[in-house]
Amino acid sequence: MKYMASVKQNTTIREYQNFVKEVYGLPNDRYFSLWDMVSNVERFMMRGLKGIRKNDKEKTKINLLIAFSWFMSIMNQLHIDIESQIWKRFPYLCSYCGLCSCFCKEKNIKERQSISVDENKRPKTLEGFQNMFNKIYPAEKRTIEHAGVHLAEEAGEFSEALLIYRGGHKDEDFENLELEAADFFSCIMSVFNSLGMSVAKELSTTFSDNCHLCKNVPCTCNFKDITDFKF
Ligand SMILES: [Zn+2]
Ligand SMILES: [Zn+2]
């Protein structure tokens, strides 16, 4: 029987990151630089935003799932354990006002508040993290367009942080890059919360059997397939 890699609905963030490594690590290393991968994150994210403008939930969903997977490829290449970074940045609290749910706007918070972490609250699964983000930043307190603009903003900050780190190779810039990665992740969760969809469930459908296009592990899509591919 052929070996199968898949994302389960109860996947942890770490397991999903490892799935991406198993299926896409080889072609990523051979074909793509970090900048190529950043372009793919942005390219599919923008298609997802177009889905928001056109009120096409399916278009938004599939494109953001692919953008999210390219993002995980970047995490793998940079050896960032994104699950730990997310928990460090969002320990069931807003990273800025330190509250759940967030009161940044209402209280007009002007500087980052110090926060104490309760390890018992740490979610175990990707779905648990998505639910946590909905508690911190409830979908009903914003529009999906707002969530989409925030996602685009964080993608820009992530690229900027990567550019700065690659320019100077300083440890503090790498730490900033890790924070920006956690922020980008949180915004992906927020858009799915606004869509009323579970990221883990949708990933488990799209990635039920290796690469979603060629169905192989490692993925054998050729460079042209990947660059021509669009939803
Ligand atoms: Zn806040
Ligand atoms: Zn493939």
The token pair at 22 is: 């198993």
Closest ligand to the CA of 106? 1
pTM of the complete model? 0.95
CB 210 within 8 A of CB 25: no
At 1, the pLDDT band (50, 70, 90 cuts) reads low
Closest ligand to the CA of 112? 1
Q: Which of 74, 69, 24, 66 has the alpha carbon at shortest distance from 47?
A: 66
Mean pLDDT for 129-138 is 98
Place of tokens 């940044």: 104
Proportion of the chain above pLDDT 90, given as a percent: 88
pLDDT of residue 223: 77
Closest ligand to the CA of 209? 2
CB 81 within 8 A of CB 174: no
Residue 149 CA to ligand 1 center (angstroms) comes to 17
151-189: pLDDT as tens digits: 999 999 999 999 999 999 999 999 999 999 999 999 999
At 110, the pLDDT band (50, 70, 90 cuts) reads confident
Residue 216 CA to ligand 2 center (angstroms) comes to 6
Residue 226 CA to ligand 2 center (angstroms) comes to 8
Residue-wise over 143-157: b if at least 16 C-beta within 10 A, else e?
A: ebeebbebbeebbeb
At 230, the pLDDT band (50, 70, 90 cuts) reads confident
Closest ligand to the CA of 229? 2
Query: Is a pLDDT exceeding 70 seen at residue 49?
Result: yes
Query: Is a pLDDT exceeding 70 seen at residue 92?
Result: yes
pLDDT of residue 107: 87
Closest ligand to the CA of 213? 2
Query: Is a pLDDT exceeding 80 seen at residue 231?
Result: no
At 26, the pLDDT band (50, 70, 90 cuts) reads very high
